[in-house]
Structure 1
Amino acid sequence: MDDKDFINGDNANPTVFNNPKDSDIILEFGCHQVYAHRAILRMCLNSQFPVATSAVFNIVHDSPEDLMPIYAMLKHVYGMPSGIHPKNTRFYHAENEHELMYSIRVYMLSDIYDVPSARNAAISAVKNLLDECTGSDTLGEEDHRAVAECVMKLCGPGAPQLADSKLRNTLFSWLSDNFHFVTRNPEFKAKIENGSLLDTELTAKLLFALSAQIASPPRKKRRVQTVYLRSEHP
């Protein structure tokens, strides 16, 4: 296989994804397996991915819901950008799982295996979905619940320690900017009241931000004085 067919820019050509031809390592997760290539994994993953000597590598995951996000991360590595490529869109998420949580899972797995470009793609997807939520007048109860669960997952007391906290910061910034919006929803109100939405650090930051908003007086509009000039005729 020629290099131009194997490597396309910074990512592998999608045609070699899960192709046993020229594969020199198998990635396993659950009952799934993907034929992969050490050269591509070394090029696209920043972590010390132990692919040099292992014939099979097991991708550790926490739940069955992680299987599709693992595919999303691997497809992204193979030149199918997550959330953009037709074979790697958010519509491939598991049944009965909200698109937001799917994107959160893609991010968390990409954080564990240190795939920066996949993390950035997941952040973009989350931002777009949050914009859709706040811009909709017909947001359903399921959507409210999903947003609250996602904020709690990365910002709550039980949130995992991430190597890259960009998405955590993104969710908190959205919450701070839209606090008036979320407090109208029972899902958010319940989590705020029982202390499960934010950890101690972010709770303090939120209180400080809200206090600053209350203390800041509204800006006065500058009064524009119109001057009329009388034309003089000779």
Structure 2
Amino acid sequence: MASTATTPSGPVAFANSKIFNIEENSDIIITFNGQKIYAHRIILRMWSPFFERALTSKFAVAQSQTFSLGDDDSPEAIWAMFRHMYNFEYTFGKELNGENALDYHIDVYEIADKYDCPSLRQKAVQGFSNCMRTFLTESEIGETVPIIRRICGSAASHPANSEIRVLMVKFLYFHSTELTKDIAFIEALAVGDLFDATSANDFLAIVLSNISYLRANAHFKETGRDLRESPADRSIRKMARDLGGDENPFAY
């Protein structure tokens, strides 16, 4: 039996998890990567505008008993999306840790974005943030390079305003000093694929802001007086502050 909960996007009906992936009473089969999930059209439509459009269109796919998602996406992330739609708790395998766990949350975020499931996007972003916080306490800062490249790199698929990319830029802001001292980060930066053009500009603004503060501090130590701030200094500092915000999302 369905029940109703209030989410950030308004009232959303969700299914009892007991009917998830049960062939009896299902009215559509989702296929992907040689796997299948027995689902209910009304449930998918209520959670995802993508499925609302696809399953109510005039095209043949709307009436088909099967709906293929193709073979390009992470199967684990697809399972996470459908489990979310059936009110399972957002979790991931205990065997995942460190970088693997971060990749899992990114996979889920990308699936949620592709199939337009906003509530799952929020779960994935929170999961990524929590995992990143733990990862930073247990790992060297240079070990974040693959994650930075995946989200902000020249081959990344995340637009500049995506939640997970905004979060990654905040990480760059609050950890820029550590990163610029780390050999793994420097070597990755030299290769040229660590940042796309937008992220490169963002990181440049952050570094120039740091230099501006260092110059002001050095001037004060030498003269005992504050350095007169130029319009360029004010502009670059504001750009960096706007990117980073007031609070480090990865701090304990």
Report the TM-score range of the alignment, normalised by the length of the smaller protein: 0.7 to 0.9
Q: Distance in 1 between matches of 2:45 and 2:201?
A: 41
Cα distance in 1 for partners of 2:174, 2:97 equals 31
Mark the CA change 1:47 to 1:163 in structure 2 (over 3 Å): closer, same or farther: farther
User: In 2 relative to 1, CA 186–80 (structure 1 residues): closer, same or farther, beyond 3 Å?
Assistant: farther
Q: Distance in 2 between matches of 1:23 and 1:163?
A: 39
The one-letter amino acid of 1:139's match is: S
User: 1:47 aligned to 2:50?
Assistant: yes
Letter in 2 for 1:36: A
The gaps in structure 2 that reach 5 residues or longer are: 6-11, 56-61, 221-252
- Asked whether 1:79 is paired with 2:87, we answer yes
Who is 1:104 aligned against? 106
Alpha-carbon offset, residue 202 of structure 1: 1.2
Percent identical pairs in the alignment equals 27
Cα distance in 1 between the residues matched to 2:87 and 2:199: 36
Instruction: Structure 1: state its 5+ residue gaps.
Output: 83-88, 221-234
> Residue in 2 aligned with 1:36?
39
SS at the partner of 1:47? helix
- Structure (1 or 2) with the greater helix fraction: 2
Larger Rg over CA atoms: 1
Are 1:68 and 1:92, in contact at CA under 8 Å, matched by a contact in 2? Answer: no
1:155·1:168 contact (CA, 8 Å) conserved in 2?
yes
Q: Which secondary structure state, in structure 1, belongs to the residue aligned with residue 50 of structure 2?
A: coil
Query: What residue number does 1:231 align with?
Result: none
Q: Which residue of 2 aligns with 1:229?
A: none
Contact 1:44/1:77, CA 8 A, preserved across alignment: yes
Letter in 1 for 2:40: H
TM-score, normalised relative to structure 2:
0.72
Tell me, yes or no, if the aligned pair for 1:29 and 1:60 is still in contact at 8 Å: yes
> Whole-Å Cα distance in 1 between the matches of residues 170 and 50 of structure 2?
28
Instruction: Provide the alpha-carbon RMSD of the alignment.
Output: 2.6
Partners of 2:133 and 2:99 lie apart in 1 by 19
* CA deviation profile, 1:132-184 (whole Å, cap 9, x unmatched): 123x1x426xx954x32222112111111559611111112112211223344
- Equivalent residue of 1:22, what SS? coil
Contact map agreement 2:47 2:85 (CA 8 A) in 1? yes
**What is the SS of the residue equivalent to 2:49?**
coil
Ranges of 4+ aligned residues in structure 1 off by more than 4 Å = 92-97, 161-164
Q: How far is 1:41 from its partner?
A: 0.4
